[in-house]
Amino acid sequence: MSGYVANWGNDNNDGLTRDTAKKSIQGAMDGSLTSPYYLFGLFNETIVPTPDYVFYGNNEAVISGSLLAVVVNSSANLTDILLDGLKVVNFNKLHNLGITTTLNIINSHIHNGALIAESNTSPVYINGSVLSKVLAITIQTNVNNNGIRSACIKSSTIHNIGIFNLTVAGAGSTYDALALGNSIYSNMTLNLLALTSIAIPVFIYNLFINVSFKFSGGGLGFDETVSSYPTGATDADKIQNLRNRMATVYGGLASDYLIGCKYYSGSYNDIFVDADNGDFNLVPYCIAAHMSYEGDYIGARREGLKANWNADWANIVNIDANGRVIDQTLEASAESNIIDVTHVRSIVRFNSLGLRAARNGQQINTESNLSAQIDAGTNVLIAGKTYQVVNNVITLDNPAMTSYTPFECFVAINAGGGAGVNGLGFAAGGGAVKEVFTGAAVYDSKIQIKCSKIDPTLAAATLITCFQNVYPILVIVDGSGEPTLGNADVGYDELTAVPLYIRYIKFFIKIKAGQLAAR
Cβ contacts of 222-225, under 8 Å, gap ≥ 24: 222/248, 222/249, 223/249, 224/249
Other CB atoms within 10 Å distance of the CB of residue 360: 13
pLDDT value of position 224: 94
Give the 3-state DSSP-derived string for 289-319, with helices as H, strands as E and coil as C. HHCCCCCCCCCCCCECCCCCHHHHEEEEECE
What does pTM read for this prediction?
0.65
Return d(Cα 130, Cα 453) in angstroms, integer: 32
Other CB atoms within 10 Å distance of the CB of residue 303: 21
CA distances from 507 to 32, 144, 312 (A): 46, 47, 10
Q: What is the mean pLDDT of residues 489-506?
A: 89
**Contact (Cβ atoms closer than 8 angstroms) between residue 450 and residue 398:** no
96 versus 443: the higher-pLDDT residue is: 96
Q: Write out the E strands in 30-69.
A: 37-43, 54-64
CA distances from 161 to 187, 213, 217, 480 (A): 7, 13, 22, 48
515 versus 102: the higher-pLDDT residue is: 102
Residues contacting residue 96 through CB under 8 Å, at least 6 positions apart: 70, 71, 72, 81, 102, 103, 117, 122, 123, 124
Taken in order 444, 447, 448, 450, the sign of the CA dihedral is negative
Q: What confidence category does residue 165 fall into, taking pLDDT thresholds of 50, 70 and 90?
A: confident
3-class SS of residue 496: helix
pLDDT value of position 77: 40
Residue-wise pLDDT tens digits, 370-408: 777 888 766 678 777 777 787 788 888 776 777 887 767
473 versus 69: the higher-pLDDT residue is: 473
Q: Which residue type does 90 have? A: N
* 300 pLDDT more than 80: yes
**Contact (Cβ atoms closer than 8 angstroms) between residue 280 and residue 257:** no
Residues contacting residue 347 through CB under 8 Å, at least 6 positions apart: 305, 473, 500, 501, 502, 505
3-class SS of residue 506: strand
| Partner residues linked to 472 by β-bridges | none
What mean pLDDT, rounded, does the chain reach? Answer: 76
Q: Which residue type does 421 have? A: V
Closest CA to 470 of 445, 493, 495: 445
3-class SS of residue 237: helix
Minimum mean pLDDT range among 178-187, 246-255, 262-271? 178-187
pLDDT value of position 302: 82
Residue-wise pLDDT tens digits, 325-374: 676 566 777 888 888 876 676 676 665 443 443 333 334 444 456 777 88
Considering all CA atoms of the chain, what is the largest pairwise distance in Å, rounded to the nearest integer? 83
Q: What is the mean pLDDT of residues 182-202?
A: 81
Residue 446 sits at the vertex; the CA angle it makes with 441 and 452, to the nearest 5 degrees, is: 140
Q: What percent of the chain has pLDDT over 70?
A: 70
* Parallel, antiparallel or unpaired: strands 157-168 and 130-140: parallel
Return d(Cα 147, Cα 99) in angstroms, integer: 13
Return d(Cα 271, Cα 248) in angstroms, integer: 31
**Contact (Cβ atoms closer than 8 angstroms) between residue 376 and residue 430:** yes
Return d(Cα 268, Cα 2) in angstroms, integer: 41
Return d(Cα 463, Cα 451) in angstroms, integer: 8
Residue-wise pLDDT tens digits, 407-425: 677 777 765 544 445 667 7
* 438 pLDDT more than 70: no
Q: CA Rg, the chain, in Å? A: 26
